């Protein structure tokens, strides 16, 4: 059975199971929530060491081809364009379709604090590089960066560094195989988070109030992920691009993202999808996807900007001008770059940033969205994952490095 079939079967079984499980006063949801956390930890288990050694080998290979700077600049330009387009689509979808306003509801919570770039950097960079490997679940960027720096250093004296290259190559292949074993069983594990989401929907009373808004957000994310991304890949390479095939091959990682809401879990699945399904070579797959998982949070940005515009419409009858829309889209795109240490829960955090930046007494207004926050997080995570796949594919196509794939897993 192919990987996407196992992932789809696990998701469907979880949906059916969640539809029939007794709610038991919230005990069922609490148990499934704890088990889902375990699934997420299992899904991330091999990711960080695999990313480190993959970054070492990939950067070394790019350095041999003298393509490090070109690859990173191409990825940065692609990411910037994606963030701008995604946030504008999210904002304009709410303005154009005007979903039902949400009556202000009292929700417990507190206003966030607008991010400070210097403080974010200081928090991410430890004084001792060995601490990167025990820094917790949010150090992906620094681990990838450290791996890239090691990879850049391997070309200095090949007689001395060749043993290190061999060790890094062997470690990368071993960890990739171990991660592949985890992806083989992840379809079974997806039953739990899928069931948890259905149980959560069954016990959420105010869900129907957000029906129109959720429909708008889903439509906007599908437009970007299913229409714009494949169309852009086709325009970039009309001879070899297969948009429908690309969407089909993204299915396992997309299901992991939408069920768990965790970018790192879906990245672990995508590492296998990129290599075995999409033909992305290691020199690109070891560098671009981890960096996109940190900075390419286009889905989170789209959902957050759309959600905050709904909040503004719900709290005021004033028309929202084009300049305000563009400002919010810009703020959402820029602040989304600072979510690398938040693989899950990015929509909530980004909304708090936008609300504080917007001010005007709206600092805690986003809390009215708490009843649907789990759904918003998963919608954003799905498009985040599609963004990782799109930018990785586009940069590889631009470099003419796509390998032919004879079969898919």
Residues 238-284: tens digit of each pLDDT: 777 788 889 999 999 999 999 999 999 999 999 999 988 888 998 99
Whole-angstrom distance, CA of residue 249 vs CA of residue 313: 39
Mean pLDDT along residues 86-97:
92
* Domain extent at residue 107: 3-398
Residues 179-238: tens digit of each pLDDT: 999 999 998 999 999 999 999 998 887 788 888 999 999 999 999 999 999 999 999 887
**Lowest pLDDT segment from 105-109, 115-119, 138-142:** 105-109
User: Does 408 fall in a domain?
Assistant: no
Give the CATH number for residue 29.
1.10.3860.10
Mean predicted lDDT score pLDDT of the chain: 87
User: Does 177 fall in a domain?
Assistant: yes
User: Does 407 fall in a domain?
Assistant: no
User: Does 14 fall in a domain?
Assistant: yes
Overall pTM > 0.85: yes
Q: What is the pLDDT of residue 132?
A: 72
Mean pLDDT along residues 40-44:
91
With 70 as the cut, is the pLDDT of residue 351 above it?
yes
Residues 129-148: tens digit of each pLDDT: 777 776 666 688 889 999 99
User: Does 363 fall in a domain?
Assistant: yes
Question: How many domains does one find in the chain?
Answer: 1
User: Does 172 fall in a domain?
Assistant: yes
User: Does 404 fall in a domain?
Assistant: no
């Amino acid at each position: 059975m192919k990987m996407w079939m196992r992932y789809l079967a696990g998701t469907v079984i979880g949906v059916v199971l969640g539809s029939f499980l007794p709610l038991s006063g919230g005990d069922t949801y609490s148990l499934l929530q704890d088990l889902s956390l375990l699934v997420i930890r299992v899904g991330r288990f091999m990711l960080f060491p695999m990313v480190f050694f993959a970054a070492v080998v990939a950067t070394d290979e790019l350095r041999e081809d003298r393509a490090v700077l070109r690859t990173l600049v191409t990825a940065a330009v692609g990411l910037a364009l994606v963030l701008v387009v995604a946030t504008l689509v999210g904002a304009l979808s709410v303005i154009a379709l005007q979903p039902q306003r949400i009556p202000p509801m009292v929700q417990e919570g507190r206003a966030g604090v607008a991010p400070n770039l210097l403080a974010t950097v200081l928090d991410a960079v430890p004084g001792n590089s060995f601490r990167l490997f025990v820094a917790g679940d949010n150090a992906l960027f620094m681990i990838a960066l450290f791996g890239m720096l090691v990879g850049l250093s391997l070309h200095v004296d090949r007689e001395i560094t060749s043993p290190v290259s061999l060790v890094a190559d062997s470690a990368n292949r071993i960890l990739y195989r171990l991660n592949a074993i985890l992806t083989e069983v992840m379809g079974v594990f997806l039953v739990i988070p899928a069931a948890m989401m259905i149980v959560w929907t069954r016990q959420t009373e105010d869900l129907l109030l957000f029906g129109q808004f959720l429909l708008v957000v889903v439509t906007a994310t599908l437009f970007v992920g299913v229409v714009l991304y494949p169309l852009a890949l086709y325009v970039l390479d009309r001879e070899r691009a297969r948009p429908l095939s690309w969407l089909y091959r993204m299915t396992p990682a997309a299901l992991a993202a939408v069920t768990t809401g965790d970018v790192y879990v879906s990245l672990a699945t995508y590492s296998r999808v990129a290599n075995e399904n999409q033909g992305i070579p290691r020199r690109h797959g070891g560098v671009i996807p981890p960096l996109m998982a940190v900075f390419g949070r286009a889905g989170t940005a789209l959902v957050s900007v759309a959600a905050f515009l709904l909040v503004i419409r719900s709290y005021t009858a004033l028309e929202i001008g084009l300049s305000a829309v563009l400002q919010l889209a810009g703020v959402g795109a820029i602040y989304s770059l600072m979510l690398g240490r938040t693989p899950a829960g990015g929509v909530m955090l980004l909304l708090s940033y936008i609300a504080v930046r917007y001010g005007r007494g709206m600092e805690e207004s986003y809390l009215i969205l708490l009843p649907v926050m789990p759904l918003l997080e998963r919608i954003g995570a799905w498009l985040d994952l599609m963004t990782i796949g799109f930018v990785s594919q586009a940069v590889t196509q631009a470099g003419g490095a796509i390998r032919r794939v004879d079969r898919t897993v």
